[in-house]
Each structure stands twice: as structure tokens, then as C-alpha cells.
Amino acid sequence: MRLAPGIVLAMTAVVLTACSGSGSGPSKDSASSTTQAGTSSTVAPSTTVPGPQDCAAGYLAQFTLRQKLAQLLTVGVTGEDDAENAVKTEQVGGIFIGSWTDKSMLAQHLVDKVKAASRTPLMVTTDEEGGRVSRTKDLIGVAPAARVVAQTMTPDEFYQFSLDRGKKLKALGVTVDFAPDVDVSSQADDDVIGDRSFSDDPNVVVQYAGAFIRAMNDAGVGTVMKHFPGHGSGSGDSHTGVVHTPPLDQLQDKDLVPFRQLIGQGSAVMVGHLDVPGLTTPNVPASISPEAMKLLRNGTGYNAAPFDGVIFTDDLSGMKAITSRLDIEDAVEAALVAGADNALWITTNDLSKVLDQLEQAVKSGHLPESQVDASVLRMAKLKGSAPHC
């Protein structure tokens, strides 16, 4: 899916606005600038402020093509050595702290050494929903499942509770939490979504998920709503096989409501491995579906505002809804071509092979470099490393 030039221009303008700090530009007595070719020329002070396109181009110029592609990948790590190797060798943009990861990375601040190996701020992610999906409970304490939260706390109480946990996550070095789960579900507690859902009432989900997003934002930790366009009514568990949802028109008044209501609150979005009749091509799950990405980006197909934040995929290497169809190299390529900004998988295995294939996809025109650039800029905004102009 090739992004129209207007979309890329709009993106760079957003990055420029969001990252200009206090609004100060270059020094007023600055009298020289550097052209894109790298030659210095003298100009009048009033012409030293670059336009959005020049600003974005200057930021992107620091990366090789391979490094830009690496910014669009998040990989699970086993510990400090594994993470540092992935960052040093390929400058991967993000790492994921899972249940299998040596938590001394966080507890002993070893992740700081990993961050120091990255040329741009490294995204350090985890799954900290509470309940049974809680990767850091041994470090920041136990939190109840979402369903229990909605039954025992008010949204304001949950905000304060989440704010405290967010501050603890940030202190450990975590920058992005793959939460909240905004699926709307009445499944039994131990089902794939089950008690990870705040409620089978979409309005309740909006209240509590919104409180969580605000709290994490206030703590300085990014959030990722999941699993677009809604796993709560799915036919099964995407970890173990293909999952079908009801048709798109049946998701409108239930599963899609939290995304519709919260899409402008500053959270990124994770797209699930979900086959959605009326939306996705048969045998192509939403995580690698151009139609699903377009629905989220444009918003018009479910009466939502356009979304220009970061789109993550769900795990591409450990869930049979995707691995039964594609190997990791093809899955990552398919996801980025479809329009995802960041491909997630839970190991550093095959990182170099994935990047080899992505480089070829760009060189062949299958993955437009303009689309890669737009995603790199979105990632930069999320990580706080966007250009200051």
C-alpha cells in the first residue's frame, strides 16, 4: 500500500509540530545552512528555518536504508547480552521484555547499557495488563485482571492505581506498555480474552481503558490499545490457530466502539491476527491486511477519526494464526507492506534475515521507501526522538 504524498507531508508536519519543544527555532543570528547535498552556503537569517519536508529529510538522513527498516522492528530478548547484540549489530528500534526475559535487565538497570548502544532512543516494551498478563509483577507488584478492576474500582481509582504502576515501569526503564486490552468480551475468565477485558459493555471498556491511557501518559509511558478490530467476539485463540470474528458490520456497535472513542487519546494500536469477514481478504488476517490498516488509518469505515499514530502488529513468531501461514521473514514483510509501522516478534532469531528481505522489498518497489520513511517518523514521535527544527 503506497502512501500518497499528501499523507507523508502531513505526517512530517505533525512530527515537526510535536517535536519543536517550546517553539524556539534556530538562533536568530544563524547565518548559514547545509544543503541536502552537504555543501554549506550563506543565507539570510530569515531563511534558516527549514520546512517540514526538509526537517524530516534531515532526520531520516542519519539512517541507512537497513537502519530505517530496523527502526520498524521490535524483538523479544532473553537478557542483556541478547538485547545488546541486537542493538549493536542491527540497530533494532525496540526490544520486548517477556516472561522468559532475565528481569535483572530492569531490576539492576542493565537495560541502560543496551540503550547506550542505540544511536536513537531505544523503545523498551513489555506486556503489563495486570492479571494473568503481567511481565513485571515481581518488580512492581501484582495488579488485578481488567474485569476485576471494573468490578472493584472506579475509573478515577484505577487512574491513580495505574499512575503509580506507570511511574514504577518508567523507573525500571520501560518506555511502552502493550496495554490496555480494549477487547469487549463476555468470555469466561480463563478464555483467551476473558478477564483481560474490562467488560462486555463497550462503554465500560472505554471508561477504564481511557483512565489507563491517561495514567500511563502522565507517567511518561506509551500505551498500545489492542487487538484491533476486536478479539472479544473471536472464534478462538490466535496463539493456537486461525481466529474468525463476526462480520465487520456486526463489530460496529460493540468491538469497534473502544477504538472509535479512544483513537485520539494518544495511544498506539496493535492489530490482531483476526480474519474479519467483510474487511479482510480470505486467509489474510488483519495484522497483514491492507484493508484493516486502511480502516484504522482512515477511520471512515467505522465512523472514527483518522489515526496517524503507530500501528503495531501482534506477535508474528509465536502465534499459529500467523505462523501456520507464513514464516517470520514473509510475515514481517507482509505486515509492513500492508501498512503497519512496527512488526513485533518474541525472539531475536532471524533478525538479520528479516532485514535482508526487507531491504530487497524496498529495492524492488514492493515496500515503498516513502512508506518506510513515514513509519520511521511515527516511531520517532512515539519514542521522543523526532527532529527539532
The residues carrying an active-site annotation are 239, 314
CA torsion angle 196 200 202 204 (round to 10): -70
Pinpoint the alpha helices (H) of the chain: 5-18, 52-60, 65-70, 80-90, 104-107, 111-116, 137-140, 146-152, 155-172, 202-219, 248-251, 257-262, 290-298, 320-323, 328-338, 351-363, 369-383
Residue burial 127-163, b: 16+ Cβ < 10 Å; e: rest: bbbbbebbbbeeebeebbbbbebbeebebeebbebbb
Q: Any idea how long the chain is?
A: 389
| Backbone phi and psi for residue 27, each to the nearest 5 degrees, phi listed first | -55, 140
CA 258 – CA 381 distance, rounded (Å): 23
Q: Which amino acid is at 158?
A: F
Residue 254's nearest CA partner among 238, 233, 274 is: 233
CA 350 – CA 327 distance, rounded (Å): 10
If DSSP codes are grouped into helix, strand and coil, which group holds residue 353? helix
Q: At what angle do helices 5-18 and 52-60 cross, to 10 degrees?
A: 90
CA 128 – CA 53 distance, rounded (Å): 37
Whether residue 378 contacts residue 341, with contact meaning beta carbons closer than 8 Å, is answered with: yes
Residue 309's nearest CA partner among 297, 299, 317 is: 297
CA 289 – CA 273 distance, rounded (Å): 9
Which helix (H) or strand (E) segment holds residue 313: the answer is strand 311-313
Instruction: Report the 3 state secondary structure along 118-151.
Output: CCCCCEEEECEEECCEECCHHHHCCCCCHHHHHH
Whether residue 45 contacts residue 29, with contact meaning beta carbons closer than 8 Å, is answered with: yes
